[in-house]
Amino acid sequence: MSVDLLITGKHGILNSQKLLNTTSNNINNTNTEGYIRKETVTYTSCVNWGVGSTVTRRLYDQYVQRQMFTETGTFQHSLAIADGLDNADTILSDETTSLDTAVTSFLDKLSTAVSSPTSAASRSEAKGQLENLVSRITTANESMVDSLNSVNQKITDEVNSVNELTKSIAEFNGKIRSLRLSNEVTNNEIYMQMLDERDRLVGELAEHVGLNVQIENDYTYNVYMDNGILLCNGDSYAQFNDGQSQFDVTKKEITVSYQSVSGGHVDKTSLKLQNKSIGGALGGYLESTTDIRNAMRDVGKMTVALADALNVQNKAGFTLEDKAGDNILTIADTYAVSTDNNNSMRCHFVENEGTKVLGNDFQVSFADGALHVYKVNEGEQLEEITASIDAADITTAGGVSSIHLKDYGIELSFNKTIAQLEADKTSFYVQPTMLIGSNVKSNISKPEDFAFASAVRTDTGSNNYGNAVISLSSCTNTGADYGVSVNATTLKPEFNTGAPTQIITDADGNYCIYDSANNLLGRAPASCNGNNVFANALTYDAATDTYTTAFDRGTGYPGYDVNVSGTVKENDKFYININSGGQADNNNGNALIAIRGKNIVRTSEAGRCTTFNEGYGDMLGSLGTKVSTATTEATAAKAKLDSTISLYESSAGVNLDEEATNLLRYQQTYQACSKIIEASQTIFNSLISAI
């Protein structure tokens, strides 16, 4: 009898020790990251004196855990987008760095100068604000590049973290599988610690990339990205590489290859990943760089549009020194990246086509021996536009070729002919607007360089019978294709042959247009009431004695226009003259100021344009919305994640109150079993004494 009691007590004490060890381990690891609560279960057995085998297991809900992994990636993805875009948004929206503010200040000072066109002091203030605008453009560009570089460094850090984690998880997979095959897993604390650590690593990996987990029969994990690409299993693991794009030094491209747990390559090929398929913080940072580059392209597009509008208008006027105006802002040409160092391509913004410029990159490829031109859309996907290029827009002269992309306001010039490039199978990639800020310079060297005076002025005939007067409504262009050219020697304006210089009304009140040799050029109907006479006129065809095509030829010819206001009589005459000595004139200056309200910035493929300020506001609104959306989504994802973590912790987390209760209960069991052994000893001693 005493022997039975002794054996029973011994098994009871051993079982209590296991229970106490498990509870103590839970208490000790309350603050251990990744620790999952353990429970020891005892099975009854009459063979082992009432105490059977014990099994220690981890207490957690694997389905809630998987959901927690998914929500971790979602939260980190939104957080990374907001973090990546925040600095760029601040740079462009802050009043001290905003281009919108700088443009407004420049045009305000220019307006003041135009009101006193001969005032050197007012012109100097306008020149100072122009230089401030250029500085703002340069600073914004440099700051955006710095922001891009900062996010790219975070991408590198994310890639390094992913690589460390995939390798570690794969190694744990191998060790766990080995223990499972050895049948040494029951109550094996090392085995359970490995399971805990692997789950912790997977949870950490979920912060960097979106993933899902599948459990194999040997308890190894197959970890996949959301797009189905394997990250790691029991035999191999993925290694990411954040290489630089072949054509864009600011762009990171993620490729993946595989390593064997036992060493060496499993697959030497590299697979390029799409940014939107990666998820987690890595995917979020990659997506934010795309948005930053698009914002930089938009800023460049608006800068080109503004510069072109100012330049064209300033060149239509004359300076305080009575010389033809020149460019106000100079934008240097951009050179493409080439797959052949012997071949080059230069991108030039075509004058007076600033309203056509979009914030796209372009790729020109001769890789298959034929010309292919691609536009890179906002999602950084190639869209071929070769078919939209007219044959007349591809020219070859002097052993070199060029392509005029008239729908986008740029010209691409090569150092060889198209035929030679097709033979060389070269590809080019150019970013016309992205880094434009580093290529902008002020061309106003002195205050007198602002061309406030128009190239022409108007005069009303002194012997007219009506009371109408003529006034200049616009003067926008000079050059060989317009009514006025600039003499290359004197830099003064002069009429081209056949330019309209006078208007004579006929008996029906029509406005007949003549050149200086009294040749009839065209006629505007009386119904236009003298408003923008040249824009409303038709060209006279002497051969048929009819009025045919539009007088302005669709190009704004002759580059100036007039209004005739008042009552006209037959044979009333109105004149357009060269504005010699017109330094005090401010007609062209007023046209420069009017650019503030003109739709010069292209906002869509359909050709819709808006003002600079509205375009800048739209760009800021779009960028700000992305930051706000990402922040809101991160907040919502965090709330959902916290709820899931709480649910997960309810089973996997250590509850000290519960463990304290268990500790007291198991202590009492241990003490009771000790009493059984003590009783058996007493009985045994009594039996010995009786003998």
**Closest C-alpha to 367, from 341, 389, 396, 338:** 338
Instruction: State mean pLDDT over 79-87.
Output: 94
- The mean per-residue pLDDT over the stretch 560-581 comes to 93
Predicted pLDDT of residue 1: 45
pLDDT at position 616: 92
- Taking the C-alpha atoms of residue 210 and residue 227, their distance in angstroms, rounded to an integer, is 9
Does residue 638 lie in a domain region?
yes
Closest alpha carbon to 259 in 171, 198, 179, 172: 171
Domains of the chain: total? 4
Residue entry with tokens 């306008």: 126
For residue 323, being part of any structural domain is answered with no
Q: Is 380 left (phi over 0), alpha (psi -120 to 50) or beta?
A: left
**Same-domain pairing of 268 and 413:** no
In a domain, 594, yes or no: no
Domain with 471 in it: 456-578
H or E segment to which residue 571 belongs: none
- Residue 2: is its pLDDT beyond 60? no
420 and 475 belong to one structural domain:
no
Same domain, 409 and 520: no
Residue after which a domain boundary falls, among 389, 413, 442 = 442
According to the 3-state scheme, what is the secondary structure of 165-220? HHHHHHHHHHHHHHHHHCCCCCCCHHHHHHHHHHHHHHHHHHHHCCEEEEECCCCC
Domain for residue 602, yes or no?
no
Q: Name the pLDDT band for 31 (thresholds 50, 70, 90).
A: confident
**pLDDT exceeds 80 at position 20:** no
Asked whether the predicted pLDDT for residue 298 surpasses 90, the reply is: yes
Counting residues of the chain whose pLDDT is more than 70, the rounded percentage is 94
User: Tens digit of pLDDT for each residue in 64-78?
Assistant: 989 999 999 999 999
609 inside domain? no
Task: Provide the pLDDT confidence category of residue 265 given band limits of 50, 70 and 90.
Answer: low
For residues 109 and 209, state if they share a domain: yes
Q: Which of 300, 299, 276 is nearest to 288 (CA)?
A: 276
Tell me: do 357 and 406 sit in the same domain. Answer: yes
Q: Last residue of some domain: 379, 407, 442? A: 442
Q: Which of 85-99, 153-167, 260-274, 549-563 has the lowest mean pLDDT?
A: 260-274
400 near 417, Cβ under 8 Å?
Answer: yes
Q: Is residue 436 part of a domain?
A: yes
Distance CA 19, CA 605 (A): 72
Single-letter amino acid, residue 647: L
Q: At what angle do helices 189-208 and 120-181 cross, to 10 degrees?
A: 160
496 shares its domain with 391: no
More confident residue, 491 or 348: 348
Structure tokens that stand for 238 in this block: 């993925």
Please tell me which residue, 40 or 430, carries the higher pLDDT value: 430
- For the cut 50, the answer to whether the pLDDT of residue 564 exceeds it is yes
With respect to residue 304, please indicate whether it lies within any of the assigned structural domains. no
Asked whether residue 266 is domain-assigned, the answer is yes
Residue 84 and residue 177 in one domain? yes
Q: What is the DSSP letter of 483?
A: S
Q: Indicate whether 505 and 555 sit together in one domain.
A: yes
pLDDT at 517 over 70: yes
How many CB atoms are located within 10 Å of the residue 578 CB? 16
In our burial notation (b when 16+ CB lie closer than 10 A, e otherwise), range 200-226 reads: bbbbbbbbbbbbbbeeeeebbbebbbb
Indicate if 125 and 249 belong to the same structural domain: yes
Residue 182 CA from chain centroid, whole number = 53
94-142 confidence digits (pLDDT tens): 888 889 999 999 999 999 999 999 899 999 999 999 999 999 999 999 9
Cβ contact 659:26 at 8 Å: yes
Residues 220 and 248 occupy one common structural domain: yes
Query: Which of 384, 410, 442 is the C-terminal boundary of a domain?
Result: 442
User: How far from 20 is each of 55, 423, 498, 657, 662, CA to CA, in Å?
Assistant: 14, 81, 108, 15, 8
Rounded to whole angstroms, how far apart are CA atoms 90 and 573? Answer: 59
135 and 81 share one domain: yes
Under DSSP, the state recorded for 324 is: B
Specify whether 333 is located in the same domain as 255.
no
